[in-house]
Amino acid sequence: MSKVTLNVEGMSCRACVNKVEESVGQLNGVESVKVQIPEGKVDVTFNDSTINLADIKGAIQNTGYEIKEDIDKEDGSACSCCS
């Protein structure tokens, strides 16, 4: 399993959360999706042998939101203030 946090712009309400979580959550290989509106982040846990990150990003972009950058949280060494 891989875990990633994506910085996503344009999400502002519960409808945004539902749209993103539904779109990404229905992808084969995605185990969990959690949108954090105040931080503008989407946490995704997925099976990287089933789905790739580009497909996940595409699903978010297809819902109308822009992805700014990735923060890989899998090993805990990356943080937004150090990149």
CA-closest candidate to residue 6, choices 44, 58, 54: 44
How far is it between the farthest Cα atoms of the chain? 33
Contacts of 47 (CB under 8 A, 6+ apart): 1, 2, 29, 30, 31
pTM assigned to the model = 0.79
**Domains of the chain with CATH codes:** 2-72 (3.30.70.100)
Query: What confidence score (pLDDT) does residue 71 get?
Result: 55
pLDDT in tens, the chain (83 residues): 999 999 999 999 999 999 999 999 999 999 999 999 999 999 999 999 999 999 999 999 999 999 997 555 554 434 333 33
**CA distances, 58 to each of 2, 16, 66 (Å):** 17, 16, 10
Q: What pLDDT score was predicted for residue 35?
A: 96
